[in-house]
């Protein structure tokens, strides 16, 4: 499968402004209670890190962060063509009764979030689990919705939303691609 | 049985014959050999057209295991005999490690009479050296000789006791029979399953060092010298054994040796994938040993090629390498492998497969002369073919040569004037 | 992803495959530290531990690895199965296939038994140790520890000392470590050194050295790997007595001092204290013997995942 560019959804300045707004929304919604940001591998990880820095600036208190690899919880392992590379999972100890914000780049079918919820539950019983996503592109297959959304867009099934982050991709941008 | 073998190239090194001629067979014997194409041929006798083919004295495989009596699920005298003629052999010498072993005349009689009844090839039994092949006391060698054995051997096992082996050599001299030794020092080879070397170390398999064979060959050559008896080394497999034999021969001892086709066609690298069809004893040796064997065949140090045909039921060969039995089938591939793998003159080939085996076993000779038993092997040196183990006439399938391309084949086998096998293109 | 059905040995593993297993194992190490030490990855997969030789460690390690990945793990040992009643390996293989096993971990005293099994079954075969041939997951976990402690697998001096002739651990380690260009020194009495050992590595033979002098092997070593001595070898006269063996090939504190100051001491276990290794060394600061055990679970999880997941 190859992709062609349909259009650019965000450029660098918009990416950062959006992350900034989401960080504020999370702080506001949690009303001063400290949260734990858990980024889903891979682009949720730098996202969570950046939001944590922004939140630290605002509150002088850096939230705890963690990373989660959901590949071990996927429901389609036997179906994917190439086996995913398992990345590190690092969840802070004692997250029982804490407020967790799961961070991911794109919310699509909801299956990744389902896997992440299963994974998190193996680490204890959290007070709340909230979801922050950069792009909600619709087409849900499970009853899952995000608490914090960078941008909600309408997409075709044949489209692919690519979030680029400097830490991984060398640039900040979001593109909507088309499968050809 | 009557037959005319027409227009073949007749080669018999023992009678210094190499000529194109016809052979007329009457009553199972060679009646006449007509030199030249013009000789008058009798009518109303079936004709085998050997134009372009070699006609040789019948090939004699002096080392086979027919498994009967006792292990008929692997082979019988009938199926083994059938495999023999399909490989071009008119006669075989059957090793005594049957169940019970051929260590007394009643087993010898049984083998001979069953062979007459069911085997297309002639079968010459070999008797055990020791009772039950236990290596403890001599078997009834004289009685077995009267019954028809042509040699003695505990093949499959060596006679470890030097004193006992010396007695066997001395005693066999009364009958002028060869004493055939499977040379293996059982202490050196203990628990071994393949040749000791890089491959055994890499595969983690217990090795059988070349020294296990070589030390016993050396010991036996000394005993053969002091007794003056006929001594024959079965399936010789290493360079050092060969060199010792060469020295003994240079001193005119009455010693002979055979090699098997697998010991010149394969090396221990064939075990690489734990293929139990590459498990035999003596084991497949190193490339250097193989080079020495090939040299020994050409220079005359080696007297005969014998298959060590050792059929095993597939149930046994499908076991773990350690547990699977030693041995492979070989009568149907021996001639093809010799013609494909060795650059030998046709006269040398016939010496190795017929003339020398007859001398070693001291059987009443056959060949291309009037009055001889009409036992003939017909070869097509140019026939290209592929061995298919599933078409084998043996009852077993344990061959490492399945799918091997070969050039040269026995295409006709005549025993007592009867065409018992033919494979015409 | 390993593009192979089986893991039969380290001899035919590529460097990339080895690194992929070690990297994946690193990710898995964390699972064993969770309050709930289990992920659902291999749910519904059946792993059979087919052990023809007694082994508590390896069997338990594979069992825990499989269970932490949520696979169903069934243990069959020769004494409880029909194997002792004359059933052949082939029949066992067919039976396991008929039960739709996804993976069989086999330990067998006959070298090559896993290869035979592999030819006969659809299931993935993992060699859990075959005779004196290979024990690939042991070598992988050893490499995991070495990389963790030394930061690399290349350019080290690693001494492997003991009964090389009968050791599958030694062979698997030799194949694996020489691929990375590290100097491997094999050391034992000549009676316990198999012929041609210096030539068993196909491509990287220049990294393999053989000696019967322990001081030479240990000198400036980064890693000392001790092998277990089996007492029955004494009866076969491979060495005269335990006492004399320890004198020449036992790892004492004094001997360990010839190595680098940050040397790590490894042993595949179970150890014979006072036979191949002195107690104060086994329990001393350089010893990573227990780390090997915990790394074993992560490495086996990685192997199971890479063979069975996806």
**pLDDT tens, per residue, chain B with 425 residues:** 899 999 999 999 999 999 999 999 999 999 999 865 555 778 789 999 999 999 999 999 999 999 999 999 999 999 999 999 999 999 999 999 999 999 999 999 999 999 999 999 999 999 999 999 999 999 999 999 999 999 999 999 999 999 999 999 999 999 999 999 999 999 999 999 999 999 999 999 999 999 999 999 999 999 999 999 999 999 999 999 999 999 999 998 999 999 999 999 999 999 988 999 999 999 999 999 999 999 999 999 999 999 999 999 998 888 899 999 999 999 999 999 999 999 999 999 999 999 999 999 999 999 999 999 999 999 999 999 999 999 999 999 999 999 999 999 999 999 999 999 999 87
The answer to whether domain B3-54+371-422 and domain B58-361 are alike in fold is no
pLDDT-based confidence at residue A80 (cuts at 50, 70, 90):
low
Q: Which of C59, C133, C135, C255 is catalytic?
A: C135
Residue B36 DSSP code: S
Question: Are C167 and C96 found together in one domain?
Answer: no
Which of these, B17, B16, B39, lies nearest to B5 by C-alpha position? B39
Task: Write down the catalytic residue from C3, C33, C85, C199.
Answer: C85
Question: Could you give all domains of chain A from N- to C-terminal order, each with its CATH number?
Answer: 13-155 (3.40.50.2020)
pLDDT at B335: 98
Are C197 and C158 members of one domain?
yes
C158 and C21 belong to one structural domain: no
| C3 part of a folded domain | no
Chain C residues in contact with A77 by the CB 8 A cut-off are 41, 309-310
- H or E stretch including B241? helix B239-250
Q: Tens digits of per-residue pLDDT, B100-141?
A: 999 999 999 999 999 999 999 999 999 999 999 999 999 999
Q: Are A87 and C309 an interchain contact pair (Cβ–Cβ within 8 Å)? A: no
3.40.50.2300, 3.40.50.150, 2.30.40.10, 3.30.70.1450: which CATH number matches B3-54+371-422? Answer: 2.30.40.10
The sign of the CA dihedral C125, C131, C133, C139 is positive
> Which backbone phi and psi does C149 adopt, to 5 degrees?
-85, -35
In a domain, C196, yes or no: yes
**pLDDT reported for residue C274:** 85
Q: Which of B147, B100, B157 is nearest to B125 (CA)?
A: B147
3-state SS string for chain C? CCCCCCECCCCCCCHHHHHHHHHHHHHHHHHHHCCCCCCCCCCCCEEEEEECCCCHHHHHHHHHHHHHCCCEEEEEECCCCHHHHCCCHHHHHHHHHHCCCCEEEEEECCCCHHHHHHHHCCCEEEEEEECCCECHHHHHHHHHHHHHHHCCCCCCEEEEECCCCCCHHHHHHHHHHHHCCCEEEEECCHHHCCCCHHHCCCCCHHHEEEECCHHHHHCCCCEEEECCCCCHHHHCCCCCCHHHHHHHHCECHHHHCCCCCCCEEECCCCCCECCCECHHHHCCCCECHHHHHHHHHHHHHHHHHHHHCC
CB interface of C with B, residues 110-129, below 8 Å: 110-113, 115-116
What's the confidence (pLDDT) of residue C83?
A: 57
Q: Extract the tokens encoding B265.
A: 């066609």
d(CA C83, CA C80): 8
Cross-chain Cβ contact C36/A122 below 8 Å = yes
Is a pLDDT exceeding 70 seen at residue A93?
yes
Chains in touch with A (3+ beta-carbon pairs under 8 Å) read: C
H helix or E strand, kind and range, residue B233: strand B231-233
What CATH code would you report for B58-361?
3.20.20.140
Does one domain contain both C66 and C101?
yes
Mark yes or no for CB contact A80/C28 under 8 Å.
no
- Per-residue tens of pLDDT for chain C, all 310 residues: 678 899 999 999 999 999 999 999 998 998 888 888 888 999 999 999 999 888 888 999 999 999 999 999 999 887 655 555 567 788 888 888 898 999 999 999 999 999 999 988 999 999 999 999 999 999 999 999 999 999 999 999 999 999 999 999 999 999 999 999 999 999 999 999 999 899 988 778 889 999 999 999 999 999 999 999 877 777 788 988 888 999 999 999 999 999 999 999 999 988 888 889 999 999 989 999 999 999 999 999 999 999 997 6
pTM, two decimal places: 0.89
Q: Do A72 and C1 touch (CB under 8 A)?
A: no
- Of chain C residues 61-90, which have a CB less than 8 A from chain B? 88-90
Same domain, C59 and C177: no
Are C187 and C154 members of one domain?
yes
Domain that holds residue C51: 15-135+296-308
CA torsion, ordered A146, A149, A151, A155, to nearest 10 deg:
-10
- Residue C228 is part of a domain; what is its CATH number? 3.40.50.1370
Measured between CB atoms, does B205 come within 8 Å of chain C?
A: yes
C284 shares a domain with C178: yes
Same domain assignment for residues C166 and C68: no
Told to judge if C85 belongs to the known catalytic residues of this protein, a careful annotator would answer yes
Residue B44 has a pLDDT of: 85
CB-CB contact of B396 with B82 (8 Å):
no
How far apart CA B376 and CA C164 sit, in angstroms, is 55
One domain for residues C214 and C143: yes
A-C Cβ pairs (cutoff 8 Å, strict): 49
Contact (CB<8Å) C35/A124: yes
Among the listed residues C45, C59, C68, C107, the single catalytic one is C107
pLDDT at B319: 87
Q: Are C90 and C105 contained in the same domain?
A: yes
Known catalytic membership, residue C204: no
Whether C131 and B322 lie within 8 Å, measured CB to CB: yes
Return the domain boundaries, chain B. Answer: 3-54+371-422, 58-361
Question: CA of B329 to nearest chain C CA: how many angstroms apart?
Answer: 21
Q: What is the pLDDT of residue C236?
A: 82
State residue C1's pLDDT score.
64
Are residues C170 and C252 located together in one domain of the fold? yes
Active-site choice (C10, C24, C46, C58): C58
Structural domain tally of chain C? 2
Supply angle C-alpha C81, C87, C91, rounded to 5.
Answer: 100
Domain membership of residue C53 (yes or no) is: yes
Which among A77, A89, A124 has CB closest to C41?
Answer: A77
Nearest-by-Cβ selection for A83 from C23, C69, C309: C309
Q: What is the pLDDT of residue A75?
A: 76
For residue B203, the Cα-to-chain-centroid distance in whole angstroms is 30
Residues 6+ apart with CB under 8 A from B269: B199, B287
Q: What is the ipTM of this complex?
A: 0.92
Could you give the CA distance from residue B267 to residue B258 in angstroms, rounded to a whole number? Answer: 18
Q: Is C135 a catalytic residue?
A: yes
Task: Decide if A73 and C41 are in contact by the 8 Å CB cutoff.
Answer: yes
Distance, first Cα to last Cα, chain B:
25
Report yes or no on C9 lying in a domain: no
- C29 lies in the same domain as C54: yes
For the question of residue C4 being annotated catalytic, the response is: no
- Residue C218 in any domain: the answer is yes
Chain C residues closer than 8 Å to B204 by CB: 111-112, 130-134, 168, 171
């Amino acid at each position: 499968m190859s992709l062609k560019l349909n259009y650019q959804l965000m450029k660098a300045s918009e990416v950062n402004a959006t992350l900034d707004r989401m960080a504020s929304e999370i702080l506001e919604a949690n009303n001063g209670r400290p949260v734990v940001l858990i980024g889903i591998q891979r682009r949720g990880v730098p996202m969570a890190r950046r939001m944590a820095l922004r939140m630290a600036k605002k509150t002088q208190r850096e939230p705890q962060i963690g990373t989660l690899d959901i590949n071990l919880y996927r429901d389609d392992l036997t179906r994917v063509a190439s086996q995913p590379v398992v990345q590190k999972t690092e969840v802070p100890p004692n997250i029982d009764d804490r407020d967790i914000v799961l961070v991911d780049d794109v919310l699509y079918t909801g299956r990744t979030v389902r896997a992440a919820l299963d994974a998190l539950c193996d680490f204890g019983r959290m007070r709340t689990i909230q979801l922050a996503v950069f792009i909600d592109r619709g087409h849900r297959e499970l009853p899952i919705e995000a608490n914090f959304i960078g941008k909600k867009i309408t997409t075709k099934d044949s489209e692919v939303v690519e979030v680029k982050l400097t830490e991984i991709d060398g640039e900040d941008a979001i593109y909507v691609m088309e499968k050809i | 049985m009557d037959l005319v073998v027409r227009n073949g190239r007749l080669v018999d090194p023992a009678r210094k014959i190499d000529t194109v001629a016809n052979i007329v067979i009457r009553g199972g014997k060679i009646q006449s050999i007509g030199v030249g194409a013009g000789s008058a041929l009798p009518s109303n006798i079936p004709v085998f057209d050997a134009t372009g083919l070699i006609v040789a004295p019948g090939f004699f495989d002096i080392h086979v295991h027919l498994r009967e009596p006792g292990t008929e699920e692997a082979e019988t005298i009938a199926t083994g005999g059938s495999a023999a003629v399909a490989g071009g052999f008119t006669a075989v010498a059957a090793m005594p490690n049957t169940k019970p072993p051929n260590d007394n005349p009643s087993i010898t009689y049984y083998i001979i009479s069953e062979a007459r009844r069911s085997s297309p090839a002639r079968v010459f039994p070999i008797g055990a050296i020791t009772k039950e092949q236990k290596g403890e006391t001599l078997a009834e060698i004289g009685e077995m000789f009267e019954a028809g054995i042509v040699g003695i051997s505990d093949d499959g096992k060596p006679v470890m006791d030097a004193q006992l082996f010396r007695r066997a050599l001395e005693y066999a001299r009364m009958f002028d029979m060869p004493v055939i030794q499977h040379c293996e020092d059982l202490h050196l080879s203990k628990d071994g399953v393949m040749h000791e070397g890089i491959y055994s170390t890499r595969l983690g398999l217990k090795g059988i060092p070349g020294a296990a064979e070589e030390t016993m060959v050396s010991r036996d050559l000394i005993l053969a010298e002091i007794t003056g008896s006929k001594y024959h080394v079965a399936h010789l497999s290493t360079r050092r054994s060969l060199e010792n034999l060469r020295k003994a021969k240079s001193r005119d001892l009455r010693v002979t040796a055979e090699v098997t086709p697998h010991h010149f066609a394969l090396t221990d690298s064939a075990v690489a994938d734990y293929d139990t069809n590459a498990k035999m004893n003596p084991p497949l040796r190193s490339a250097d040993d193989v080079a020495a064997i090939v040299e020994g065949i050409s220079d005359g140090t080696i007297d005969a090629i014998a298959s060590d045909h050792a059929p095993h039921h597939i149930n046994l060969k499908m076991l773990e390498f350690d547990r699977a039995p030693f041995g492979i089938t070989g009568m149907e591939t021996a001639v093809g492998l010799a013609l494909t793998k060795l650059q030998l003159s046709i006269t040398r080939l016939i010496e190795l497969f017929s003339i020398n085996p007859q001398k070693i076993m001291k059987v009443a000779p056959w060949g291309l002369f009037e009055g001889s038993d009409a036992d003939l092997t017909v070869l097509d040196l140019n026939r290209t073919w592929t061995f298919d183990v599933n078409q084998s006439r043996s009852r077993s399938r344990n061959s490492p040569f399945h799918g091997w391309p070969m050039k040269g084949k026995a295409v006709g086998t005549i025993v007592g004037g009867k065409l018992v096998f033919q494979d015409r293109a | 992803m390993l593009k192979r059905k089986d893991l039969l040995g380290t001899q035919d593993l590529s460097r990339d495959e080895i690194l992929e297993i070690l990297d994946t194992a690193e990710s898995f190490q964390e699972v064993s530290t969770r309050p709930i030490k289990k992920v659902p990855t291999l749910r519904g997969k059946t792993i059979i531990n087919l052990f023809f030789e007694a082994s508590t460690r390896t069997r338990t390690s594979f069992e825990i690895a499989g269970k932490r990945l949520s696979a169903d793990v069934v243990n069959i040992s020769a004494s409880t199965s029909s194997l002792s009643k004359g059933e052949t390996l082939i029949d066992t293989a067919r039976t396991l296939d008929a039960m739709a096993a996804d993976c069989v971990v086999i330990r067998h005293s006959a070298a090559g038994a896993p290869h035979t099994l592999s030819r006969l079954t659809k299931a993935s075969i993992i060699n859990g140790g075959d005779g004196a041939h290979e024990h690939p997951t042991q070598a992988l976990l050893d490499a995991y520890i070495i990389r963790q402690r030394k930061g690399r697998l290349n350019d080290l001096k690693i001494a492997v000392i003991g009964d090389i002739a009968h050791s599958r651990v030694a062979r698997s380690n030799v194949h694996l470590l020489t691929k990375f260009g590290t100097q491997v020194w094999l050391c034992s009495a000549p009676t316990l050194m198999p012929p041609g050992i210096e030539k068993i590595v196909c491509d990287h033979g220049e990294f393999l050295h053989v000696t019967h002098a322990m001081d030479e092997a240990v000198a400036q070593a980064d890693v000392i790997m001790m092998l277990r001595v089996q007492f029955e070898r004494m009866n076969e006269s491979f060495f005269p007595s335990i006492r004399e063996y320890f004198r020449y090939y036992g790892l004492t504190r004094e001997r360990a001092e010839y190595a680098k100051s940050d040397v790590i001491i490894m042993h595949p276990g179970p150890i014979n204290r006072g036979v191949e290794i002195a107690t104060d060394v086994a329990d001393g600061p350089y010893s990573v013997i227990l780390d090997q055990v915990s790394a074993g679970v992560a490495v086996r999880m990685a192997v199971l995942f890479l063979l069975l997941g996806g």
